[in-house]
Amino acid sequence: MSSSVFLTQIYLKHIFELRAFLVRRVGCREIAAELAQESFLRIMYYQHTDTLHNIRALLYQIAGNLAVDYHRMQIRQPVHTTINELSVHEIPVSDASDPARIVFARQILEQLCNVIEELPPQCHRAFVLHKFDGLSHADIASQLGITRNAVEKLLIRALVRLRRVLA
C-alpha cells in the first residue's frame, strides 16, 4: 500500500474525532479544523508511518501539542499584529540574504506553484479557497456545492501532491 493511500485512510478514519478533541481543547471549530489539518501534515513527515504501532496516539499527541502551542501563542500575542507594527527587536531574524537559500526557495516555490496549477479543477479551487482565501471547509462546501467531507478529500489530495515536492 502506498504511503499516500495509507495516509488518506488514516485521515478519513480519525479526522472527525480529532477535530472534536481539538474543539474541546481550543473552543473554536475553525481553529480546531486548522490544527487537525496541521496534525496530519506533520504526521506525513514521519518516516515509515505505515509501520507505526499506534498512529492514533501519535496523532493525538501532535494535536495536543499544537493546542498547547496555540494557547501559548494566544497568551503571548492575544491581538494579531502585522510585521510593520513590530519593533526592530521583535522582527524575526532571517538568513534571507544568503543567495543559495534564495535560489533554493525560489525553485521550491516554483515547483509548488506548478503543482497547484496542475491540480484537477475542483481540487485546485478548494485548495485556493482554503489556503489563499482563508475560507473554512463549510464555506468551501457551500460555495462549490459539495459536502464538507468532499472538501476534506480534495484538500488531502492537494496536500499529498504538494508533499511530493517537499520530500
* DSSP string for residues in 70-131: HHHHHHH-SS---GGGS-TTTSPP--TT-HHHHHHHHHHHHHHHHHHHHS-HHHHHHHIIII
Average of per-residue pLDDT across 37-55? 74
Residue 152 grid coordinates = 476534506
- 101: amino acid identity, one letter: R
What is the model's pLDDT at position 64? Answer: 93
Angle at alpha carbon of residue 78, lines to 74 and 80, rounded to 5°:
110
Average of per-residue pLDDT across 83-108? 66
What is the model's pLDDT at position 85? Answer: 63
Encode pLDDT of 32-43 as tens digits. Answer: 989 998 898 888
pLDDT at 50 over 70: no
Average of per-residue pLDDT across 92-108? 70
d(CA 102, CA 46): 27
pLDDT at 94 over 80: no
Band (83; pLDDT cuts 50, 70, 90): low
CB atoms within 10 A of CB 104: 11
Helix (H, G, I), strand (E, B) or coil at 5: helix
What is the model's pLDDT at position 5? Answer: 76
What is the model's pLDDT at position 90? Answer: 57
What is the model's pLDDT at position 147? Answer: 93
Residue 41 grid coordinates = 501534515
What is the model's pLDDT at position 163? Answer: 85
d(CA 37, CA 16): 11
Q: For residue 74, how many C-alpha atoms fall within 13 Å in the half-sphere facing its CB?
A: 9
Band (65; pLDDT cuts 50, 70, 90): very high
Average of per-residue pLDDT across 52-72? 88
d(CA 63, CA 146): 27
